[in-house]
């Protein structure tokens, strides 16, 4: 009986080790999820800034200005730290959105549809990263 219990413990241990090796630890999965949420928030903020520009013909001066004009509360802060994302205007039609990531973007799992759905590239390294975003100006064609 003692041999049977030892064998079961050994096999369960091997399965757990392989599981953590191939799937990662729960902490790693949690960090990856936070990074994915950060990417989604950055993309949503980009859309909200674009909408603001389309309505006001200028970029917002700050994230606070967006909060006052739109329902951006949910996506304007980091999902883990609850700190606001960094937003800086570069010129009349470009801006920076900055945050800190645990992993480089190639380490995050994505479906092809998720990759195709983004306005612009969200490629980044691990650590602090700023995305330079450009406004898509409305082009009106005279007939």
DSSP string, 63-124: HHHHHHHS--TTTSB-TTT-PBPEEEEEETTEEEEEEEESS-GGGS---HHHHHT-SS----
Report pLDDT digits (tens) over 23-57: 568 899 999 999 999 999 999 999 999 989 998 99
Q: Is the pLDDT of residue 140 over 60?
A: no
Between 140 and 10, the more confident residue is 10
pTM for the model: 0.73
Using CA atoms of 14, 18, 24, 27 in order, give the dihedral in degrees to the nearest 10: 0
Between 79 and 122, the more confident residue is 79
Q: Is the pLDDT of residue 114 over 60?
A: no
User: What are the Cα distances from residue 118, in Å, to 33, 61, 77, 138?
Assistant: 18, 24, 20, 19
Across the chain, what does the average pLDDT equal?
Answer: 80
Q: Is the pLDDT of residue 110 over 60?
A: no
pLDDT score at 76 = 85
pLDDT score at 118 = 46
pLDDT score at 119 = 46
Report pLDDT digits (tens) over 86-98: 999 999 999 999 9
Residue 96: partners with Cβ closer than 8 Å, 6 or more residues away: 86, 87, 88, 90, 130, 131, 132, 133
53 three-state secondary structure: helix
Token readout for 48 is 């909200």
């Amino acid at each position: 009986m003692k041999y049977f219990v030892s064998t079961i413990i050994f096999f369960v241990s091997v399965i757990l080790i392989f599981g953590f090796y191939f799937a990662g630890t729960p902490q790693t999965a949690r960090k990856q999820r936070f990074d994915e949420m950060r990417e989604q928030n950055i993309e949503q903020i980009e859309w909200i800034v674009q909408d603001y520009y389309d309505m006001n013909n200028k970029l917002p001066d700050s994230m606070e200005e967006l909060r006052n004009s739109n329902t951006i509360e949910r996506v304007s802060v980091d999902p883990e730290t609850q700190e606001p994302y960094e937003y800086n205007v570069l010129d009349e039609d470009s801006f920076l959105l900055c945050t800190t990531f645990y992993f480089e973007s190639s380490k995050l799992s994505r479906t092809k549809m998720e990759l195709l759905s983004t306005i612009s590239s969200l490629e980044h390294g691990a650590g602090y990263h700023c995305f330079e975003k450009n406004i898509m100006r409305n082009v009106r064609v005279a007939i």
